[in-house]
Structure 1
Amino acid sequence: MTRHEEQDDAGRRVGRRPGALKAVGLTLAGALVLGVAVAGWTYWHLDRNITSVDINSALGDDRPARAVTTPSAGASPLPTGSLNLLVLGSDSRSGKANQELGGGDSGGARSDTAMVVHIDAGRTRATVVSIPRDTLVTRPSCPLPSGGSTAPAYGAMFNTAYEVGGPVCAVKTVESLTGVRMDHYLEVDFSGFAELVDALGGVDVTTGRDIDDDKSHLHLKAGTHHLDGTRALALARTRHGIGDGSDLGRIGLQQTLVKALLRQLSDAGLLNDPVKLYEVADAVTAGLTTDTGLDSLNELMSLGRSLKDLDPDRVRTVTMPVVTAPSDPNRVVADEPAAGELWASLR
């Protein structure tokens, strides 16, 4: 009889299994409690990362009508209707990380990139329309968080809407320009974008020409390059090393980068790599500002799951048709009727 066994009243050997099973049970219970605690902390941390703005309350009912989509029979529990999002890339977040990447504080915030993303009903195709930041527009009066409102401005640069009135004014200006209701708002800051690219392990981008831009510190030969977050951000911001130095050349690079990122996200296998999934989610949420309709992890995850069948090859990128502004050769204005026809197609 071993020292781990004892005899019962009939002299039979009995192993000390109840004690061993109890120890295993306690260990499993402890692991489960720890796992739940870690999962709870992770959710709380990611959810708390997100900054939001209540755009719907600020703008009220003076907006374009929402698109109405009738769900098909046996519809998925996930949303499948068409959707319009205003996506801005900005230097609005203060802090050391943004300052090192060339960003400013919230008092001098600017929107460097503006894209209207239209997702078709069924959510298997999308159109991304870039609006040049140098476009001269009529900027409507916008409500201010402190009370009151901004004055309307005529012939104002498009990106001044964000500068004077933040996300609310950016959305109102886009809706005034396009006649398209923005269902949601997403803003990514400099450091958040760079961290996302790094969390994905970098991104592969092909450029059709040499890029030599001392201001963005980017020097690339024509061809395919694997870029880390800092260089991907430089690519998104460069304008002086390509074409005529205008915003239009930069937009082409941004659109190439967006499609490369979508492909990287699609191929990353995040669901099979919890550590990488957390790193990507942390990077995304830490640099993100949304409207209140997307300001929780559950809402963002629901949106992401609804786009699972959206293949990067079915994402079309275009730029709002523009022509040189008669008043300023360094600015552009919407080219009509082509621009109006584009927005009408999205409506």
Structure 2
Amino acid sequence: MTEPSTPATGAPGARRVKGRRRKPHTTRRKVLLSTAWTTAALAVLGGAGAGYLYFQLNGNLTGVDIDNQLRDDDRPPNVDNGSLDILVMGSDSRSGANAKYGQDQGGARSDTAMIVHVYEGHKKASVVSIPRDTLITRPDCPGRDGGTAAGGQRQMFNTAYEVGGPACAVKTVESLSGIRMDHYLEVDFTGFKKLIDTLGGVDITTKERIDDPKSHLHLAPGPHTLDGEQSLGLVRTRHAVGDGSDLGRIQLQQAFVKALIDQVKDVGLFSSWKKSYDLADTATSAITTDSKLDSVKDLAAFASGLRGIGGGDMKMVTLPVQYDPADPNRVLPQEKADAQVWAALRADRPIPASATEDSAGDKGSVGAVVDGG
């Protein structure tokens, strides 16, 4: 997730964060995701969305009518083969409750971006992470001010959300992939923290020491139960693991997310209506969806269809990239390898291993730093 500016000493968020050591036989395996995994968490709500909850929670949801903002003849064809493609994003806006994570630069960017492809039958999925610093050709998009946001070459991927919001992010992903997005889901820093806290924390094991003053995270090797603030620090960490790049951080996020998805199966929310309501209230307040999912009924039905997918059923890769020779802080798409990835998903087939074998994005062992509880 996007690296924040370091708060001044004494500023909110500048405290040292210590993970609580987990009891050896804890049963509190309560978890959620960071972005893509909002869907997995909401699947838990499948049986709790009727009647009272529907009327109380429906007003929490924020929907964006992306289809109305984009011209249908300027998008990939809407292929109905039983699969689903979902753009899941983390927003890094530094305004409002997110101000503690750095200065507001005048607009939000896509902090995390993942294309989740759910295969026909909805038993398996592939997830493609797009590095935020990838230099792409961004298409012209509907702008935030109602006009047109001009595209251009060598534009950082995460500027699409900045200049045009969800609609521009969707159009940019569709331009890259040739795949029409069926749905859009977004969660921000504050929403992510609240989801984790409502679930009671997430159990993880760190195999190496993590000390990152920029994300305010300090964890010794061993088991921990992380609260929302600490979990956010972990998925934003980059300087304390691997080579300090954003590619390493994506690997860490992917490993963390797979552990969370497996743990969410043990949440046991239906033992308490209050617990179910608290999670539903937090989750529906934390996310922004496309207009097809902006009711509790539609969102719960959608998520329930994905509840059988566990961490072991997901193939997670980073879009094949290479470091930009002109700027080591940027990466460039590997066009032939990327084409393999997108062609596989368009055909509803697994991503071939050959597509990522030469990519800078899936090298290294950052993912081994964190294991599920």
Report the Cα distance in structure 2 between the residues aligned to 1:302 and 1:289, rounded to whole angstroms.
16
1:82 correspondence with 2:94 = no
Shift of 1:137: 0.5
What is the aligned partner in structure 2 of residue 147 from structure 1?
146
Contact 2:136 2:153 in 1 (8 A): yes
Report the Cα distance in structure 2 between the residues aligned to 1:343 and 1:223, rounded to whole angstroms.
38
What is the aligned partner in structure 1 of residue 310 from structure 2?
311
Shift of 1:141: 0.3
Report the Cα distance in structure 2 between the residues aligned to 1:57 and 1:48, rounded to whole angstroms.
21
The C-alpha deviation readout for 1:129-179, integer Å capped at 9, x for no partner, is 111111101111001253320111110111011111111111111111111
1:209 correspondence with 2:221 = no
Percent identity, aligned pairs only?
57
Report the Cα distance in structure 1 between the residues aligned to 2:104 and 2:184, rounded to whole angstroms.
20
Contact 1:127 1:316 in 2 (8 A): yes
| Matches for 1:212-223 after TM superposition, within 5 Å | 212-223=211-222
1:297 correspondence with 2:296 = yes
What is the aligned partner in structure 2 of residue 6 from structure 1?
none
Report the Cα distance in structure 2 between the residues aligned to 1:272 and 1:43, rounded to whole angstroms.
19
What is the aligned partner in structure 2 of residue 54 from structure 1?
65
Report the Cα distance in structure 2 between the residues aligned to 1:59 and 1:116, rounded to whole angstroms.
19
1:256 correspondence with 2:255 = yes
What is the aligned partner in structure 2 of residue 226 from structure 1?
225
TM-score, structure 2 as length reference: 0.75
What is the aligned partner in structure 2 of residue 5 from structure 1?
none
Report the Cα distance in structure 2 between the residues aligned to 1:137 and 1:84, rounded to whole angstroms.
21
What is the aligned partner in structure 1 of residue 271 from structure 2?
272
| Aligned residue type for 2:334 | D
Contact 1:91 1:104 in 2 (8 A): no
What is the aligned partner in structure 1 of residue 99 from structure 2?
99
Shift of 1:274: 1.9
What is the aligned partner in structure 2 of residue 9 from structure 1?
none
Report the Cα distance in structure 1 between the residues aligned to 2:247 and 2:144, rounded to whole angstroms.
32
1:43 correspondence with 2:42 = no
TM-score, structure 1 as length reference: 0.81
Report the Cα distance in structure 2 between the residues aligned to 1:108 and 1:45, rounded to whole angstroms.
31
Deviating more after overlay: 273-282 vs 186-195: 273-282
1:182 correspondence with 2:181 = yes
User: Which structure exhibits the higher relative contact order, with contacts defined as CA atoms closer than 8 Å and separated by 6 or more residues?
Assistant: 2
Shift of 1:291: 0.7
What secondary structure, in the 3-state scheme, does the structure 1 residue paired with 2:308 have?
coil
| Aligned residue type for 1:329 | P
Structure 1 unaligned spans of 5+ = 1-38, 70-80
What secondary structure, in the 3-state scheme, does the structure 2 residue paired with 1:267 have?
coil
Shift of 1:272: 3.0
Cα 1:137–1:223 change in 2 (3 A) is: farther
What is the aligned partner in structure 1 of residue 25 from structure 2?
none
Deviating more after overlay: 182-191 vs 145-154: 145-154
What secondary structure, in the 3-state scheme, does the structure 1 residue paired with 2:75 have?
coil
Report the Cα distance in structure 2 between the residues aligned to 1:299 and 1:104, rounded to whole angstroms.
36
Contact 2:54 2:297 in 1 (8 A): no
The C-alpha deviation readout for 1:296-324, integer Å capped at 9, x for no partner, is 10111001211132223212211111101
Contact 1:210 1:220 in 2 (8 A): yes
Contact 2:144 2:165 in 1 (8 A): no
Contact 2:324 2:332 in 1 (8 A): yes
Cα 1:228–1:280 change in 2 (3 A) is: same
1:68 correspondence with 2:80 = yes
1:157 correspondence with 2:169 = no
Contact 2:144 2:163 in 1 (8 A): no
Cα 1:284–1:244 change in 2 (3 A) is: same
Structure 2 unaligned spans of 5+ = 1-49, 347-373
Deviating more after overlay: 207-216 vs 292-301: 207-216
Count residues with an aligned counterpart.
Answer: 296
Shift of 1:41: 5.7
| Higher Rg | 1
The C-alpha deviation readout for 1:189-239, integer Å capped at 9, x for no partner, is 111111111111111223443221101001123443221110000111111
Deviating more after overlay: 167-176 vs 303-312: 303-312
Shift of 1:111: 1.5
Deviating more after overlay: 222-231 vs 189-198: 222-231
Report the Cα distance in structure 2 between the residues aligned to 1:103 and 1:85, rounded to whole angstroms.
29
Cα 1:51–1:93 change in 2 (3 A) is: farther
Report the Cα distance in structure 1 between the residues aligned to 2:270 and 2:103, rounded to whole angstroms.
35
| Aligned residue type for 1:297 | V
